[in-house]
């Protein structure tokens, strides 16, 4: 088992939304936010996923 990969790819237990980082904003959809399906590195909920 790859513990690092398991840690990063855990399923979240609550809804988490993120916006686009500065410099990567879509010209077509500048105000979009995204719902995460899996844990993201550095996310507060990642250790509990």
Confidence (pLDDT) at 2: 60
Confidence (pLDDT) at 20: 86
Host domain of residue 17: 1-49
Confidence (pLDDT) at 17: 92
What is the residue whose two structure tokens read 């990063």? Answer: 8
Q: Taking the model in full, what pTM does it have?
A: 0.60
CB 18 within 8 A of CB 32: no
Confidence (pLDDT) at 21: 83
The answer, yes or no, to whether residue 4 has pLDDT greater than 70, is: no
Measure the CA–CA gap between 27 and 15, rounded to whole angstroms: 26
Confidence (pLDDT) at 45: 72
Tally of domains within the chain: 1
For the stretch 12-43, pLDDT in tens is 888 989 888 888 878 898 888 999 888 877 77
């Amino acid at each position: 088992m790859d513990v690092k990969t398991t840690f990063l790819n855990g399923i979240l237990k609550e809804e988490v939304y993120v916006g686009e980082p500065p410099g990567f904003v879509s010209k077509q959809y500048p105000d979009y936010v995204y719902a995460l399906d899996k844990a993201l590195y550095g996310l507060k909920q990642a250790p509990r996923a």
